[in-house]
Structure 1
Amino acid sequence: MQEQARQVVELFFDYLRGEKWAASHTLSSYRYDLNQLQNFCDAVKIEYWADLKSAEVRQYVSVRHKSGLGAKSIQRELAAIRSFYRFLLKKQLVENNPAQGVRAPKAAKKLPKTLDVDQVAGMLDAEGDSVLDLRDKAMFELFYSSGLRLSELVMLDVADVNFSEGNLRVRFAKGGKQRQVPVGSKAIMVLKQWLICRPDSESQALFVSKRGARIGQRNVQLRLEKWCIKHGLSEHIHPHMLRHSFASHMLESSQDIRAVQELLGHADVSTTQIYTHLDFQHLANVYDQAHPRAKKSSEDWKP
């Protein structure tokens, strides 16, 4: 690129430092991203920033993606380019922002990590030796029994559990919606045990600390970590993993995605469909291990 174009980049960084008070890591990230764009412009013989069109930006995104750059990193680079061109527009150095309508490739959805049935049983069948251990076991049983979110669990009140009907009311679900979900017999049993020895408290919360205050989300996470360490569970388990495991096991057994959607409180069934991929992954593993003509051998034909 022409020296004038490179000088404009320095003016942009002066603007970020002087008027936007940009942090040092933001400046270094933008510097790297714009250097990559300059290298591309040099390669395709673009000399001035005003000459860069949307088609070239799309080509740039394609080149970066093919080089192995992830979708999130490309999104960050596009954000830096858009910010740079907003500055150029403000200075009347260009007539449009060529990156404005350009999108990064969609990031691949990562499958949620789940536990198998035996791992869940090993975790929930472990016994505690204190009142707080009993409370913790009740929380973990409820996570897996009803597929709750962490935020939903900590907001439960004692009155939300209907022991005679075997269900509970989730009043603070995502999006402000309410739903009713069933509670398994083992969770019901340990909940009753917990309520017998629950500390006296003015709080209506189902799960309280030893001081009688509603338990917080971070406390639940820490107690789950402590439970796993105490009982020798090598797997790093977090609360949402129990929700994922609930969904995967329910879908695998029932094949009723709409029912699982309702139980999880998903507004859109597409959110629930990720668990169908988990189910297929399990079936594919079983197939590979069990089918006599699926296993590969050293004598398989090689091209």
Structure 2
Amino acid sequence: MHTDAEHALTAFFDQLQVEVRASEHTINSYRRDIRQLTRYCTDKAIDRWIDLTQSDIRAHIAGRHRQGIGSKSLQRELSAIRSFYNFLLKNRLADNNPAQYVKAPKQSRKLPKTLDVDQVNGLLEAGADSVLEIRDLAMFELFYSSGLRLSELAALNLTDIDLPDRSLIVRAGKGGKSRLLPIGRKAVDSLENWLAQRLKMAIAAEPALFISSRGTRLGQRGIQLRLAQWCKKKGIAEHLHPHMLRHSFASHLLESSQDLRAVQELLGHSNISTTQIYTHLDFQHLSEIYDKAHPRARKKSD
């Protein structure tokens, strides 16, 4: 790429970091996505961003699709490219956004995997045998109680929870949005047990709610590993990841309340269409009950 094109790219990421204050995860994702576009430009001997056309963007996305990249990832790549070109337009470094009307190939929407209520109870009532398991149980209870994302739970500080009020605040959810969430009674009890142990472990001035054995904040990967270890030790055959507890929270709450807007607020979804996927899960559950119970729906026995 031409030197000016490289300078524009640097300025874009500086703006994301300083002005937009995007998360490190978002910036790293954008870097990977724009890097793929840069490779396309190199292959096609395109030196300047202004020379890219809508046909080029379509060809680039089609090529990525042929490599086996899924629709969701391609949508994210297009979003990154559009954001970059909007930056170029704003700074008069381009005269159009070639990605504006390009769409990723459609892909069937997969329903998120959830646990039923008995499975959740089995997971959370397995009992804690050590200080670290007391912490783990508090984390898992909070996932299911409040429908947190993994990143949101890992980022929680002591000042973000109010146990007397049975509430917590997510200060920087997806899109930088904050939201106030309730904490269920079981999660409150588990958190009280953990906080009594945390006092003995935390290093001075550590703000994190959940800390490692070293006394510092427990990271996202550490939380994932602890859930896998918990399942293995407790003899739970199901392969679980933290987001399954969030999905289960949403599915069970919607099944009981039928209040889609409330579930949307609790999950922190900016678009209700994202929340509506849980209505499909609820219908799927009802369909299974119908197939088993309705006398004109049951299959004939052989």
**TM-score relative to the length of structure 1:** 0.66
- Name 2:241's counterpart in structure 1: 238
Rounded to whole Å, the distance in 2 between the matches of 1:250 and 1:182 is 13
Tell me, yes or no, if structure 1 residue 251 matches structure 2 residue 251: no
Describe the shift of the 1:20–1:252 C-alpha distance in structure 2 as closer, same or farther (beyond 3 A).
same
> Is contact 1:138-1:187 (8 Å) kept?
yes
Instruction: Output the amino acid matched with 2:123.
Output: M
**One-letter amino acid of the structure 2 residue matched with residue 168 of structure 1:** L
Query: What is the alpha-carbon root mean square deviation over aligned residues?
Result: 3.2
Q: Deviations over 1:184-226 (max 9, x none)?
A: 0000001001000111322111000111110000000000000
Residue 87 (structure 1) aligns with: none
| Equivalent runs, 1:1-303 vs 2, <5 Å | 20=43, 72=71, 105-198=105-198, 199-201=201-203, 202-297=205-300
Amino acid in structure 2 at the alignment position of 1:263: L
Q: Indicate conservation of the 8 Å contact 2:123/2:236, yes or no.
A: yes
Q: Cα–Cα, structure 1 residues 126 and 106, in superposed 2: closer, same or farther, change >3 Å?
A: same
Structure 1 distance, partners of 2:153, 2:190, is 15
Percent sequence identity over aligned pairs: 60
Write the distance in 1 (CA, Å) between the matches of 2:263 and 2:245. 14
Which residues of structure 2 form unaligned runs of 5+?
1-38, 45-54, 63-67, 79-99
Q: 2:69, 2:288 → 1: CA distance?
A: 27
Shift of 1:164: 1.1
Q: Are residues 179 and 231 of structure 1, via their aligned partners in 2, closer, same or farther at CA, if it must alter by over 3 Å? A: same
Instruction: In structure 2, give the amino acid aligned to 1:228.
Output: C
Instruction: State the distance in 1 between where 2:184 and 2:104 align.
Output: 44
Q: CA deviation at 1:106?
A: 1.5
Q: Which amino acid aligns with 1:181?
A: L
Structure 1 runs (4+) greater than 3 angstroms displaced: 69-73, 100-105
Deviation at 1:251, TM superposition (A): 0.2
- AA at the equivalent of 2:300: S
User: In structure 1, what residue type is equivalent to 2:138?
Assistant: A
Distance 1:125 1:175 in 2: 34
Contact 1:208 1:215 in 2 (8 A): yes
Counterpart of 1:144, as a letter, is Y
SS of 1:197's partner is helix
TM-score (norm 2): 0.66
Greater radius of gyration (CA): 1
User: How far apart in 2 are the matches of 1:204 and 1:289?
Assistant: 51
Aligned match of 2:15 = none
Q: Distance in 1 between matches of 2:195 and 2:101?
A: 57
Residues 147 and 249, structure 2, Cα contact 8 Å, conserved in 1: yes
Please say if residues 247 and 264 of structure 1, whose CA atoms lie closer than 8 Å, have aligned partners that are also in contact. yes
How far apart, CA to CA, are the structure 2 residues paired with 1:236 and 1:230?
13
Distance 1:288 1:219, change over 3 A: same
The alignment partner of 1:181 has SS state of strand
Mark the CA change 1:284 to 1:188 in structure 2 (over 3 Å): closer, same or farther.
same
Alignment-mate amino acid for residue 213 of structure 1: T
Letter paired with 1:118? D
What SS is found at the alignment partner of 2:192? helix
